[in-house]
Amino acid sequence: MPQSELTEEELLQRVARRDVRAFDQLYDALAPRLHGLLRQMLPEEREAEEVLQDGFVHLWESVGGFDPEHGRAFPWAVSLFRRKAIDRMRTLGRRTRLVDSAVLEQATLPAQTTSAGEGTMTDERRDMVSAALGELSRDQRQLVECAFLKGLNHHVIAESLGLPDATVRTNIRRGLLRLHELLKGGSSGRTL
Amino acid sequence: MDERSEELAALNALDMLESDEKRVLHGACVTDKELRAFSVELEATAAELGRLVTPVTPPADIKRRIRAKIRARSDRFASVSPGVMVGALGWGLTVALAAAAFWLWNERGKLERELASASDVIAKVLPAADSNKGQVRTLEGTLKNMRDDFEQKKAALNVEIDTLRKRETGAQARITQLIAEAEEMKKQDAQSQLQITTLRSDVWEYRRAEMTVVWDARRAQGALLLEKMPEVEDKKDYQLWIVDPKQSDPVSAGVVAVDGKGSARTAFKPAATVGSAAKFMISVEKKGGAEKKEGPVVLTGP
């Protein structure tokens, strides 16, 4: 199979075998989305770029931990890069610092329009995630998006938004469980 | 799975936990396979949100910098493609692969043996772990009961402490009042010069009679206590006298009315100024008393 047609999972497997061209391709495929995420989490551009750089070096070194039978490549990479960003926030003391509520309220994921015609598998998956997110209640969605994009702990989010800690925790739990159910192909049977 | 575990798993999936809660979750995952799998699934679910992030193209030189960094860290990262490398190495690689295959076959056998012995150990440990879980639950129950008892005792003690505080406040106020009274009494005592005198009689009829006089010289007043006095004659009264050495005649301190039992208790003041009371006397005088002592003295002292 030509390398250009490989899936992200196959590219990762090749990177695990130290295929430099596969690494380049994987970088081209993932870097813009990962960079977009890092820019949301780290307000300064230079920091986002440094974490992006460190993240790919780490990916090269730890790619052996990726198991295609137990997960997809993109979420695996997102987890890795988010953890790197959170480590950086912790080092800079931003993890526990209160944030302007307006900044948190603006931390939203854009709604995707359904792909017209025959999209790629990546497009289809993105549409599925977008649709599942749209199923959450307004509060659940806001808190899940805010937590995902800002990398703050629940105490800081609760204090910054002026909400009880228990409300934040409950909405996050319910929202994420609902999302999990919907992405697994579940119906809206379970009330959360 | 309980809500608490679900919540911890959800918060962990979004990296929202701090170290203490993270340790609780990881501890629970060690013994709860279902929770462990669920936690991993939620992490993947949360990460799927990254698909909706608006892409931002990174600066062009970042890829070059990443490759340079990787190259610096690892000799295995080469700028040439793996195909070229294989071609150049030729037979050497073939021989190395054969040797590696043999080594891997050996290692596989060794790992299978290790896996089998590890499975045996785990099988032995698992029942103990179940029993430990039971013990932990029992301990948790005991601790909860102890904590409830403690809370009840604490509440009761707080009530008792409040009561004691109120009593202490009351007692303090009473002490303050008593101190003030004692001070007042001390002042009064300092101002008074009390003299207590007991009188006796040489007259046969009055031999059993007792008379006590308390005299306050500073205030020039006193109190009299009479017991076992015979009944006074008709148209007569007992009269008290104060003998002042500076005055020629005793000074009257008034008529003393004795009751049917021969007792009298009364306060008295002399009819004229007394410098010093050297002596007290009771005499029998005409009814209503006399200005000057005329009748016989029946009691005298000291």
Pick the CATH number of A96-192 from 1.10.1740.10, 3.10.20.600, 1.10.10.10, 2.60.40.10: 1.10.10.10
Any idea where the domains of chain A sit in the sequence?
A: 1-95, 96-192
Task: Provide mean pLDDT across the span A114-140.
Answer: 79
In chain B, residues 3-32 whose CB comes closer than 8 Å to chain A: 3, 6-7, 10-11, 13-18
Angle at B85 between CA A64 and CA A25, to 5 degrees: 50
**For residue A137, pLDDT beyond 50:** yes
For B248-292, write each residue's pLDDT tens digit: 888 999 999 988 888 888 899 888 888 777 788 899 999 999 988
pLDDT of residue B117: 66
C-beta separation of B280 from B213 below 8 A: yes
For B142-151, write each residue's pLDDT tens digit: 787 787 777 7
Instruction: In whole angstroms, give the CA distance from residue B283 to residue B297.
Output: 4
B236 strand-pairing partners:
B286
For B54-75, write each residue's pLDDT tens digit: 999 999 999 999 999 888 876 5
Which residues in chain A are closer than 8 Å to B3, comparing Cβ atoms? Answer: 173
Instruction: In whole angstroms, give the CA distance from residue B245 to residue A100.
Output: 102
What percent of chain B shows pLDDT beyond 70? 79
Q: Which of A132, A82, A90 has its CA nearest to residue A111?
A: A132
**For residue A187, pLDDT beyond 70:** no
Same fold, A1-95 and A96-192: no
Instruction: In whole angstroms, give the CA distance from residue B200 to residue B191.
Output: 29
Topology, domain B194-301: Immunoglobulin-like (2.60.40)
Instruction: In whole angstroms, give the CA distance from residue B93 to residue B133.
Output: 54
The residue in chain A having the minimum alpha-carbon distance to the alpha carbon of residue B54 is A36
Which residues in chain A are closer than 8 Å to B56, comparing Cβ atoms? Answer: 32, 35-36, 39
pLDDT of residue A167: 94
Token pair 């890069």 is found at: A81
Question: Could you tell me the two tokens for B212?
Answer: 């006590």
Q: What was the ipTM of the complex prediction?
A: 0.88
**Most confidently predicted of A104-113, B105-114, B209-218:** B209-218
Helix (H, G, I), strand (E, B) or coil at B252: strand
Find the CB nearest A183 among B45, B62, B77: B45
H helix or E strand, kind and range, residue B238: strand B236-243
A166 touches chain B (CB under 8 A): no
Any idea where the domains of chain B sit in the sequence?
A: 1-50, 75-191, 194-301
